[in-house]
A and B are shown apart, each in its own frame.
Chain A
Amino acid sequence: QVQLVESGGGVVQPGRSLRLSCAASGLTLSTSIMHWVRQTPGKGLEWLAVISLDGNSQTYTDSVKGRFTISRDISTNTLSLQMNSLTAEDTAVYYCARESGSSGRAGWFDPWGQGTLVTVSS
Chain B
Amino acid sequence: DIQMTQSPSSLSASVGDRVTITCRASQGISNWLAWYQQKPEKAPKSLIYGASNLQSGVPSRFSGSGSGTDFTLTISSLQPEDAATYYCQHYNSYPITFGQGTRLEIK
Residues of chain A touching chain B, judged by Cβ–Cβ distance below 8 Å, are 35, 44-47, 50, 59, 61-62, 95, 100-103, 105-115
Question: What are the interface flags for B80-107 relative to A under an 8 Å C-beta threshold, 1 for contact and 0 otherwise?
Answer: 0000000101011111111111000000
B contacts with A: majority SS: loop
**Which residues of B lie under 8 Å from residue A109 when comparing CB positions?**
34, 36, 44, 46, 89
Asked if residues B91 and A44 are in contact (CB atoms below 8 Å), the reply is no
Chain B contacts of A110 at CB under 8 A? 45-46, 55
A50 adjacent to B87 (CB under 8 Å): no
In which size bucket is the chain B interface? Answer: 20 to 34
11 new A-B contacts at CB < 8 Å, known A35-B96, A109-B46 = A45-B101, A47-B97, A59-B94, A61-B94, A103-B30, A103-B93, A105-B94, A107-B96, A112-B44, A112-B45, A114-B43
- In angstroms, Cα B95 to Cα A50, docked, is 10
In the complex, B49 has a CB within 8 A of chain A = yes
With beta carbons under 8 angstroms apart, the residue of B34, B97, B101 that contacts A108 is B34
Query: Nearest Cβ in chain A — how far from B17, in angstroms?
Result: 25
**How far, in whole Å, are A107 and B44 apart by their CA atoms in the complex?**
15
* B68 at interface, CB cutoff 8 A: no
